[in-house]
Amino acid sequence: MAEKQYDWKAIAKNPKFVELHHKKTAFLFGWWIFSCVYYFLLPIGAAYTPGIFKVKIIGVVNFGYIFALSQFFVSWGIALYYSHVANKDFDRLTRELIDELHL
């Protein structure tokens, strides 16, 4: 597998790459931290604020159940949003970068 030689340093300094890298880092770590915080609210909340979890919302269904269920939808939501942004922005920037470099 003969690999093409790239000037990695030059690519890393390319404004398109810098833009891609800034956008991606902010997005990925931002949403990752959000999802972690949202998730840990569940075990922490269930242990230290059980009163809130017991509040009935719809019939006998309480806040705790709805909150646990919401974890699934929030996770799916982040996944879909990421996929949307990645397909729209990140992949486009990557393509443009590769075109610009004539690779």
Partner 1 sequence: MTIKKIFIAASLALSVAAAAYADEQKAPAAGAAPAMSAPAAQGAPAATAAAPAPNAAASVATPAPATPAPVKKELKTNKTITIGMFLAIIAITMGVVVWAAKQTKSAADFYAAGGGITGTQNGWAIAGDYMSAASFLGISGLISLYGYDGFMYSVGWLVAYITVLLIVAEPCRNAGKYTLGDILSFRTSPKPVRAFAAISTVAVSTFYLTAQMVGAGKLMALLVGIPYKMSIIGVGILMVGYVVFGGMVATTWVQIIKAGLLMSGAFLLSFLVMIKAGFNPIGFFNTIVSSPDIQDHVSKLVLKDGVILSGMDAGQRFLEPGLYLKNPLDQISLGMALVLGTAGMPHILMRFFTVPTAQAARKSVIIAMFIIGGFYILTTLLGFGAAIHLTPQGITAIDPGGNMATLMLAQQMGADIAPIVGDLFLAFLCAVAFATILAVVSGLVLAASAAIAHDIYVNVIKDGHADQHEQVFAARATSFVVGACGIMIGLAAEKQNVAHLVALAFAVAASGNLPVVILSLFWRKFNTAGVISGLLVGTIASIGLVMVSPNMTYPKVVAAGAKKVVAAMEKKQAALPAGQTLTEKDAKALAKAKVDAQQDGTSIVGLDKPLFTLKNPGIISIPLGFMAAILGALAFPNRRSEEMFDEVYVRQNTGLGMAKAVEH
Contact 67, 40 (CB under 8 A): no
Helix (H) or strand (E) holding 19: helix 15-48
Does 2 bind partner 1 (CB under 8 A)? Our answer is: no
Does 11 bind partner 1 (CB under 8 A)? Our answer is: yes
Question: Which parts of 13-72 interact with partner 1 (CB under 8 A)?
Answer: 17, 20-21, 24-25, 28-29, 31-32, 35-36, 39-40, 42-44, 46-48, 50, 53-54, 58-62, 64-65, 68-69, 71-72
DSSP secondary structure of 31-94: HHHHHHHHHHHHHHHHHH-HHHHH-EEETTEEHHHHHHHHHHHHHHHHHHHHHHHIIIIIHHHH
Contact 81, 73 (CB under 8 A): no
Contacts with partner 1, residue ranges (CB under 8 A): 1, 3-4, 6, 8-9, 11-12, 17, 20-21, 24-25, 28-29, 31-32, 35-36, 39-40, 42-44, 46-48, 50, 53-54, 58-62, 64-65, 68-69, 71-72, 75-76, 78-80, 82-83, 86-87, 91, 94, 97-98, 103
